[in-house]
A = this chain, B = another copy of it.
Amino acid sequence: MAGVDSEEIELTTGRSEAVVDLTRTAAEFLQRHDARDGLLNMWVPHATAGLAVIETGAGSDTDLLTALRELLPGDGRWTHRHGSPGHGRDHVLPALISPSLSVPVLDGHLALGTWQSLCLVDTNVDNPVRTVRLSFLPG
């Protein structure tokens, strides 16, 4: 019976590059499942998005998107050519920013530092709606 506590959650990220803070979404998931001690796994089931732990609301989310524009330019260099111009970069992104992230959970709380937020990083402007899977493994 049972199986693992796991849920898919839908998000609207819109038609521009986005860093979306999922910290509250993750905390609410843990509460809903009465999760106590273990590991939370976040997973993005998309080939053009990733998960990052950064500070939000102090410019670093913007800085990340700027850095990614330099590291993976949205120009004509990419072999993969579907979608908007430069979209091939979005398919390389998950190699650098993994779609998998595991976070320790202690007494029902994410073991985050003061300035850490759990974020979806989505440079793909063609897919305005995204999904994140949250799974809890008890310790």
Residues of A within 8 A of B (CB): 2-6, 36-39, 41, 43-47, 52-55, 58-60, 62-64, 66-67, 71-72, 77-82, 88, 91-92, 94-107, 111-116, 121, 131, 133, 135-139
Contacts and interface: CB of A to CB of B under 8 A. Distances in A.
Contact of A43 (B78, B104, B115): B104
Give the number of copies in the complex: 3
Contacts of A104: 4, 6, 41, 43, 133, 135
A81 B60 CA distance: 9
Contacts of A67: 71-72, 92, 95
A106 B31 CA distance: 21
State the majority secondary structure of interface residues on A.
mixed
A133 B105 CA distance: 11
